[in-house]
Amino acid sequence: MRHAGLFDALPFASRLTAAVIQPGPLPRIFGLSVGLDLAGQVPFHAQVWLSLTGELPTPDEAEAFSWALSLLSALHIGRCPTHAAGLARLAGASDAMLPAIAAVGLGQWGEAEQALFTAVGDWMAGRSGPPAAAIEPAPDAEVEASQERLSAATLRWFGPAGALPARPLLRPEAAAAWLLLGLGIQDAARLQIIALWARLPATLAEALCQRPGAVLQHPGRLPDYVYVEDR
Amino acid sequence: MKIETRVGLIQADDNRFLGRSVCEELYPTVTDLGELWGRALGLTFADPLDREALRLCALATTSPDARVWPLKLSRLLSSAGEPVAGYIGAQLLNSSRLMGPGVGRGCAEALCFVADREEALGLEGALLAWKERSGGRMMGFGVPLRPTDERLRALWGWVEVSPLSARPWWQRGLRVAEVGRRVFGAEPNIALGLAALMLDAGLPADRCGLAIGLFTGPAFLAHAIEAAATDGALRELSSAWIDDRCAPARARGEALRDPSPPAFRRAPPPWGAGLDGAGPGAPTPGGGASAARSP
């Protein structure tokens, strides 16, 4: 027997709304055909930029965006999202669920990271000095060389006002923040999408190195959980 | 690195959960699944009435219409045939402040806020202070689609004949409902009743959302199970079901004819728009095209 409810009377829209991806045999993204205008015509990161801004990047924008993605891309196994993805693989996560689990971890990481992005934005705007959280705690010659390259590139892309200073030496994610904010991507939603997308491949690659079921290969005492009772 | 946990331990002859032996202490006393969930939330069930509070909350939140947005999400995510994806995946929405558990948490926080200020401001003043603080939104009030919330009416009726009705947060909730109805011009909703019952049971306000997520779990689960078997058609809807408002076809190098939607626009760089008049630091309005685009 069919029953009627409150929702039956709601004036719902009758169709889904497509705003970015135009359905079709060859879909279009913001008006550009994936088969004719994008595939083989622009680097994939340029297509991602298109998806997030509505336009393909200029060469400078594409280069700066790509640079930011690389700086964001590597969260080592000691960082929670990669640790979690590896643990999930080891515990038998299916191929379908492993990226989803990693994405949950990366989303949480990205949300926490927003404070750093905000602080870098304040620094760029001259409202504060370089935030402590942005400064690389253990810089070495590679960090210095990397920032030297990036400083020169930002001078070329952004001009003197937007050039990354040579000092202090920054953590990679802080340098990426400088680039993305300078490119005009400043809302948390897109910054988190970009960070998650940049990190997902390497995070999952690390996870794939874990053998499902090899539970003793995981350091079960890191941390060493100690069960206590208060009574 | 050591971290203390009070949650549990596996032993050779028994397991311990939240300070109790599963076999010796919980087995003879735990009478239903809800009590284990309640203990996980932090309830101690020192007062047997807390079990009844959880039971009534769970019943009052059993609103499993498939068109409730988070539940529809559960169905969509399960439509490929894996109910775990829908059951668990959709509940990630429980962190939302827009609907469901987030509203319950916000309402519990509102009740605590009001309680702290009632003596100084009066109940009406405290309610208005909360409304101002929360940007004009008073969680626990507002009933769409019908004149009053049938779930809250039911809960009020159930509690009225129960000793739960004498508890302090419940009494405060009734007064808030009465005064709030007049002050906000809106009917109270189920979140108000749930928040009062949970605060009376000893839950901190910031766990009330988690509790509501628990209460609504059966609806997610049932939809996920059913949809995994029946909703395969949702995996790909034809274009007949899609209102195409995408940008029209264009050539590479040709700018969008209309500005991109606001969510896609770019902000001026933090150091000031167009200081040097060039490069990506000077995006054009509406995220529009500048002259040189990638090939």
Here the ipTM equals 0.91
Per-residue pLDDT tens digits for B128-154: 999 999 888 889 999 988 999 999 999
Q: What is the DSSP letter of B260?
A: P
Residue B99 has pLDDT above 90, yes or no: no
CB pair distance less than 8 Å for B145 and A9: yes
Do A174 and A113 belong to one domain?
yes
What is the three-class DSSP state of B78? helix
B112 pLDDT higher than 80: yes
Is beta strand A32-33 parallel, antiparallel or unpaired with respect to B20-21? unpaired
Distance CA B260, CA B258 (A): 6
Does B57 have pLDDT greater than 70? Answer: yes
Question: Whole-angstrom Cα distance, residue A143 to residue A145?
Answer: 5
Which tens digits make up the pLDDT trace of A89-111? 999 999 999 999 999 999 999 99
Q: Which among A46, A185, A225 has the least Cβ separation from residue B5?
A: A225
pLDDT at residue A15, rounded to an integer: 97
- pLDDT score for B279: 38
The alpha-helical segments, DSSP class H, found in B91-236 are: 101-133, 150-160, 168-184, 190-201, 208-215, 217-230
Q: Where is average pLDDT lowest: A46-60, B34-48, B264-278?
A: B264-278
Are A137 and A168 found together in one domain? yes
Between the CA of residue A97 and those of A100, A101, B6, what are the distances in Å? 5, 6, 29
For the structural domain made of B101-215, what CATH number should be given? 1.10.230.10
Cβ-contact B19, A231 below 8 angstroms:
yes
Asked if pLDDT for residue B289 goes beyond 60, the answer is no
- pLDDT of B111 > 50? The answer is yes
Q: What is the Cα–Cα distance from A120 to B270, expressed in whole angstroms?
A: 10
Residues A51 and A72 in one domain: no
- The pLDDT of residue B284 is 39
Average pLDDT score over residue span A189-202: 98
Asked, for residue A13, whether it belongs to a domain, the answer is no
pTM of the predicted protein model: 0.91
Shortest CA distance from A160: residue in chain B:
B276
Q: What is the tally of structural domains in chain A?
A: 2
Identify whether residues A175 and A151 lie together within a single domain: yes
Spell out the residues 6+ positions from residue A64 whose beta carbon is closer than 8 angstroms to its own.
A153, A154, A157, A179, A182, A183, B280
With a pLDDT cut of 70, the percent of chain B lying above it is 92
Q: Which domain holds residue A122?
A: 58-211
Per the CB < 8 A criterion, the answer to whether B189 and B102 are in contact is no
A231, part of any domain? no
| Residue pLDDT, tens place only, B234-253 | 999 999 999 999 999 999 99
Residues A26 and A140 placed together within one structural domain of the fold:
no
Same domain, A71 and A149: yes
Mean pLDDT within B57-75: 96
Q: Is residue A224 part of a domain?
A: no
Chain B neighbours among A 151-210 (CB < 8 Å)?
A: 156-162, 181-187, 189-190
* Interface membership of B262 toward A (CB under 8 Å): no
Residues A31 and A141 in one domain: no
When the pLDDT of each residue in chain B is averaged and rounded to a whole number, the result is 90
Find where tokens 């891309």 sit: A73
pLDDT at B201: 97
Verify whether the Cβ–Cβ distance B260 to A30 is below 8 Å. yes
Q: Tell me, what DSSP letter sits at residue A165?
A: P
Bigger pLDDT: B283 vs A13: A13
Q: Does A123 share its domain with A184?
A: yes
pLDDT beyond 60 at B286: no
pLDDT for res B290: 32
Using the 3D structure, point to which of A29, A56, A83 is the last residue of a domain.
A56
Q: CB A57: neighbour CB atoms within 10 A? A: 26
